[in-house]
Amino acid sequence: MYNSRKIIIGLVIFVLVAAFPFFINVGKTAQPLQLSLNTPTINQLEKKECIESADYMRANHMRMLNEWRDQVVREGNTVYTSSSGQKYEMSLENNCFQCHSNKSNFCDSCHTYSQVDPYCWDCHNGTKGAGLKQ
Amino acid sequence: MKVWFSLLAVIILALTAWVGVEILHLNTLFGIIIPYTAIAVFIGGFIIRVVRWGKSPVPFCITTTCGQQQSLPWIKQNKIENPTNTWGVIWRMVLEVTLFRSLFRNTKTEKIEDKLVFGSAQWLWFGSLVFHWSMLIILLRHLRFFLNPVPGLIIGLESLDSFLQIGVPLLYITDVLLVAALTYLFLRRVMIPNIKYISQIADYFPVLLLLGIAASGILGRYVYGVDVAAVKELTMSLVSFKPTTSTTIGTIFYIHIFLVSSLAVYFPCSKLMHAGGIFLSPTRNLANNSRIERYINPWNYEVEKHHYSEYEDEFRDKMRKVGLPLEKE
Amino acid sequence: MAKLPKKDELLQHKFDVPKTDWMDTPVEFKPGTYCYGAKAKNLEIVNFPNARDWSPEDEDWKLPEDWKGTIIEGISDYMSKYRSFRLFMDVCVRCGACADKCHFYMGTGDPKNMPVLRAELMRSIYKRYFTTSGKVFGRLAGARDLTEDVIKEWWYYFFQCTECRRCSVFCPYGIDQAEITIMGRELLNLLGLNTDWISGPVANCYIKGNHVGMEPQAIMSNIEFMIDDIETITGKRINPSFNRKGAEILFVAPSGDLFAEPGIFTCMGYLMLFEQLGLDYTMSTYASEGGNFGFFTSNEMAKRLNAKIYAEAKRLGVKWILGGECGHMWRLVNQYMDTWNGPADFLEEPISPITGTKFENAKSTKMVHITEFTADLIYHNKLKLDPSRNDHLRITYHDSCNTSRGMGLLEEPRYIINKVCNNFFEMPEETIREKTLCCGSGSGLNAGENMELRLRGGFPRANAVKYVQENHGVNVLANICALDRASFPSLMDYWVPGVEVMGVHELVANALVMDGEIERTLDLRCEPLPEKGVKSDV
């Protein structure tokens, strides 16, 4: 007894499952991630630079913000010295959002893309100076 | 020796990726060509192996019965451990594949002076169950790199997996469980003398390779801070067959993906094929109904027999003497 | 038979491992743990290759010229015929769950008796000649060259496995060492390597119809002897029929039951039961063997021997077949017979002539197990029973490996025992039903020259019997297997003195109240029955 039919069905299921991402995406254009830097503040900047390099920020902003929160809330430090020696206020609202005032086209587009759901937004509104959610 | 050899092999693999990307900048090779090759080898190899098994028939109905057979109507049959129909077999296989039913039976035999003592021994069952389920959840979680938009099911799974809300990025429970289970599975191989005695490179290597994969993944996520958006751009470009490389992804990611590729290539030519093999195991996937329905052996052939007539010819006189009926007087 | 070591000497072993890797640990033929080599004349009778007289102690095993090619071709051939073989070679992860499940491992402490390692003896060769990794990496991939020493090692260890399938119950992939042992023995038989104790019975069975080699007149005189005893016990002279055409039922028992104590008591039990029922049955001197030592040589040989049962049923024109108490016989009836020698379309679906019960589970093979038959009778109150006649017995029940793990016959014998006896005690749960422990003498290992091995292999079972002896005063080990009845008496005498071995139908016949019988004062062993109302003295 060979059970060829069952084996073939099993193998088809295996291929469908194992190569599932290919089947879903084949033919689709992989949309490159679009991060909009088109905000009034950024447009006015001469040197379009964040507080650290863009690569560093992309990979590490979450750790930086987490650290800031602990520093501000627990230690009372409010000043961040960047690797180039510049000093910044450790504040999402008063610092980051000054430039990145476009949450939905900046923060969200990337977060949604890579499916991360930061709990920053549990309190912060994502607009500059708006303060915390009540 | 076998352990060190396996460890060395994993380290060499990791170093290969490090040298290849960090020093030689072979991002296309390690980010595109090798992953594509690996997945092709994995799927192709898996199919070849299963087909090779499938080409040999199961000539006899050799179910291992682990419960009461179907018998008289008033005797309760164990329809799962001793199934007579397809539904029973399906249940048996589901329990076997998802809960490792047979391994759950495990006992430990000890000899205390002149007596044998049977104790319960479910650690192996527990360890492997934790490992396999963590592995499955981690694989499913990784779908976030291959689907855009990410389906709600995966999002839900991920938030469930990180509900403890420890650290940034959030700690996945399955990461911890996977490493713990693999460590257990590795340690029992090196620490229990009998298990060590039967273990081969083919046993150490996959465990260590999996640990390497887990370690590189964890380092990338929690320590080195890999740019996940860039990773996803790469993975999405791979699965939509429009591959592009990125230079902003840290080397640890390339080590991770190279180790995964190694595993994928190694998989079909190793014992890891038990994943496919378990479904074909004739002692588990057959109903014990060979007295009810004739089971067919495709290569059943005529054999030379000693017929009654030959028997009677040889013993006719003796049979007649004791009054046994005869065909030919 | 070599002088038997003392109990404590046998139990010196620990479950530890040698310093050297198993591949570097040469096989040591310990006296008392292996059988004599197969004799030329017995192999010639069944046309097996390389028939010659040889001894395992010889340096030169007189292998045929191209023995290596034969083995490699053989492996390739069996892999193309048996999915189990290739699959089981491929998927083992060496998790070790089977390791301490084997009675031979528990009794010897020899790591090569761990099922995983016994399989590895074969797997290492498979890897070397049939997998790329083994061809390229050799020993690193767990492969090794096929040498004469490997063949000797195979012979030693594949005849230290009783094909009991206990490991298969615990294996997460259902890998069955019995399958691997079966393949190993098939391969060895291609080189004329078997044991005398197996090849002798095979030759006997082929020509004379039964393993023990009883010719028709010998069977008849043994039966005569039993009939005399039955008359002494019951006052009734019964008249069983042999080779009778036109009977409704052909009854096939293992020949051990026709041959010697304590099997003959079980046979007396069958005869008394049939007599009381007035069953229209016959037995055959040609198909006078239910068991099948052919199964311990090759699939083909097993089929050749098994063919007699259907052939005889056809010749005699019976409606269906009833089978006696035997272990591996029932693995074969359940899982092989119909496939080999069916379809049995010349028979009818079995119906009990007494109760009218249709044995649905034997619809195709048309062969019913006697405990199914008897349990049905008792359930329908067709037997008058006096269980107090077994009150001098305190009984435990040993599940045969084959009927448990190759069939699932668990409750039928228990139901019967509970109806015919008042004192029944189960052994510990890890040692019964599908987890039952082998007698250590199955699959053709019940020779005399390997008695030490049998004692060791039987030790785990004896250990469990001892437990119920100490806790419940058990003095009878009941069973439904002729090999058990042949092998347990000496094992019990050695490990658990004071425990007798009885077939279930001996107990049935003790309790069976027959029409017109004299008042019974003797049990089937012609020993005095307990006085009414007096409990056993334990």
CA–CA distance, C274 with C377 (Å, rounded to integer): 11
pLDDT of residue C538: 45
DSSP state of C357: -
The highest-confidence range among A80-84, B228-232, C433-437, by mean pLDDT, is C433-437
Largest CA distance in chain A: 77
Interface confidence, given as ipTM, is 0.95
How far apart are the CA of B295 and the nearest CA of chain A, in angstroms?
8
Which residue of chain C comes nearest to B53, CA vs CA?
A: C83
Partnered with residue C321 across adjacent β-strands are: C250, C367
Tokens in use for C352? 């009990």
CA–CA distance, C374 with C355 (Å, rounded to integer): 10
Name the A residues in 63-82 with CB < 8 Å from any B CB. 63, 66
A76-80, B56-60, B251-255: least confidently modelled range: A76-80
B183-197, B216-230, C56-70, C168-182: least confidently modelled range: B216-230
Residue C61 belongs to some domain of the structure: yes
CA–CA distance, C325 with B229 (Å, rounded to integer): 71
Q: Within its chain, how far is the Cα of B55 from the centroid?
A: 21
Mutate to test the interface with B, among C77, C217, C359 (most CBs of B within 10 A): C217
How far apart are the CA of A54 and the nearest CA of chain B, in angstroms?
10
Query: Is the pLDDT reported for residue B60 higher than 90?
Result: yes
Which residue of chain A comes nearest to B55, CA vs CA?
A: A2
User: How confident is the model over B116-134, as pLDDT tens digits?
Assistant: 988 888 999 999 999 999 9
Amino acid letter, residue A62: M
CA–CA distance, C209 with C285 (Å, rounded to integer): 7
The tally of CA atoms less than 13 A away on the side-chain side of residue A19 is 21
Secondary structure of C158-217 as H, E, C letters: HCCCCCCCHHHHHCCCCCCHHHHHHHHHHHHHHCCCCEHHHHHHHHHHHHHCCCCCCCHH
Q: What phi-psi label fits residue A3: left (phi over 0), alpha (psi between -120 and 50 degrees) or beta?
A: left
CA–CA distance, A11 with B51 (Å, rounded to integer): 9
Under 8 Å between Cβ of B42 and B267: yes
User: How confident is the model over C274-323, as pLDDT tens digits?
Assistant: 999 999 999 999 999 999 999 999 999 999 999 999 999 999 999 999 99
| Matching residue, tokens 């098939």 | C186
Give pLDDT tens digits along chain C (538 positions). Answer: 457 888 888 888 888 899 999 999 999 999 999 999 999 999 999 999 999 999 999 999 999 999 999 999 999 999 999 999 999 999 999 999 999 999 999 999 999 999 999 999 999 999 999 999 999 999 999 999 999 999 999 999 999 999 999 999 999 999 999 999 999 999 999 999 999 999 999 999 999 999 999 999 999 999 999 999 999 999 999 999 999 999 999 999 999 999 999 999 999 999 999 999 999 999 999 999 999 999 999 999 999 999 999 999 999 999 999 999 999 999 999 999 999 999 999 999 999 999 999 999 999 999 999 999 999 999 999 999 999 999 999 999 999 999 999 999 999 999 999 999 999 999 999 999 999 999 999 999 999 999 999 999 999 999 999 999 999 999 999 999 999 999 999 999 999 999 999 999 999 999 999 999 999 999 999 999 877 655 554 4
Residue C234 belongs to some domain of the structure: yes
pLDDT of residue C254: 96
Confidence class for position A133, pLDDT limits 50, 70, 90: low
pLDDT of residue C533: 55
Residue C2 belongs to some domain of the structure: no
Least CB-CB distance to A110: which of B43, B159, B229?
Answer: B229
- Burial of B167-186, coded b for 16+ CB within 10 Å and e otherwise, reads ebebbbbbbebbbebbebbb
Q: Is the same domain home to C327 and C447? A: yes
Q: Is the same domain home to C185 and C229? A: no
Q: Is the same domain home to C314 and C213? A: yes
Chain C neighbours (≥3 Cβ pairs under 8 A) are B
Q: Which residues of B touch C245 (CB under 8 A)?
A: 325
Q: Which residues of A touch B296 (CB under 8 A)?
A: 1
**What value does the mean pLDDT of chain B take?**
94
Amino acid letter, residue C105: Y
How far apart are the CA of B267 and the nearest CA of chain C, in angstroms?
12
Least CB-CB distance to C86: which of B56, B290, B307?
Answer: B56
Amino acid letter, residue C42: N
Mutate to test the interface with B, among A8, A25, A63, A123 (most CBs of B within 10 A): A25
**Is the pTM for the entire model greater than 0.90?**
yes
Hey, how many other C-beta atoms are within 10 angstroms of the C-beta on A132?
9
Contact B5 C83 (CB under 8 A): no
Residue C538 belongs to some domain of the structure: no
Residue C532 belongs to some domain of the structure: no
pLDDT of residue B85: 95
Architecture of the domain defined by B2-321: Up-down Bundle (1.20)
Q: Which residues of A touch B253 (CB under 8 A)?
A: none
Mutate to test the interface with A, among B90, B147, B160, B228 (most CBs of A within 10 A): B228
For chain A, the straight-line distance linking the first and the last C-alpha, in angstroms and rounded, comes to 69
Three-state DSSP class for C436? Answer: coil
pLDDT of residue C138: 93
CB-based contact, B226 to chain A, within 8 Å = yes
Query: Is the pLDDT reported for residue B35 higher than 90?
Result: yes
Q: What is the mean pLDDT of residues B131-153?
A: 94
Hey, how many other C-beta atoms are within 10 angstroms of the C-beta on C59?
5
Under 8 Å between Cβ of C339 and B59: yes
Chain B neighbours (≥3 Cβ pairs under 8 A) are A, C
Counting the structural domains of chain C, the total is 2
CB-based contact, B169 to chain A, within 8 Å = yes
Tokens in use for B65? 């019965």
pLDDT of residue B224: 86
Under 8 Å between Cβ of C209 and C289: yes
Tokens in use for C439? 């007698």
**What value does the mean pLDDT of chain A take?**
85
Name the residue range of residue C452's domain. 202-511
Looking at chain A, list the stretches that DSSP marks H as alpha helix, in order from N- to C-terminal side. Answer: 4-18, 20-25, 40-44, 54-70, 97-99, 107-113
CB-based contact, B106 to chain C, within 8 Å = yes
Instruction: Give the helix/strand (H/E) hosting C302.
Output: helix C299-316
Q: What is the mean pLDDT of residues B243-266?
A: 92
The tally of CA atoms less than 13 A away on the side-chain side of residue C532 is 4
Q: Is the same domain home to C68 and C24? A: yes
Q: What is the mean pLDDT of residues B259-263?
A: 98
pLDDT of residue A113: 86
Query: Is the pLDDT reported for residue A122 higher than 90?
Result: no
The tally of CA atoms less than 13 A away on the side-chain side of residue C352 is 25
Instruction: Give the helix/strand (H/E) hosting B111.
Output: strand B107-112
Under 8 Å between Cβ of C363 and B290: no
Q: Is the same domain home to C169 and C288? A: no
CB-based contact, B235 to chain C, within 8 Å = no
Query: Where are chain B's structural domains?
Result: 2-321
How far apart are the CA of A131 and the nearest CA of chain B, in angstroms?
23
User: Which has the closest alpha carbon to C257: C27, C504, C511?
Assistant: C504
Contact B248 A58 (CB under 8 A): yes
Q: Which residues of A touch B295 (CB under 8 A)?
A: 1
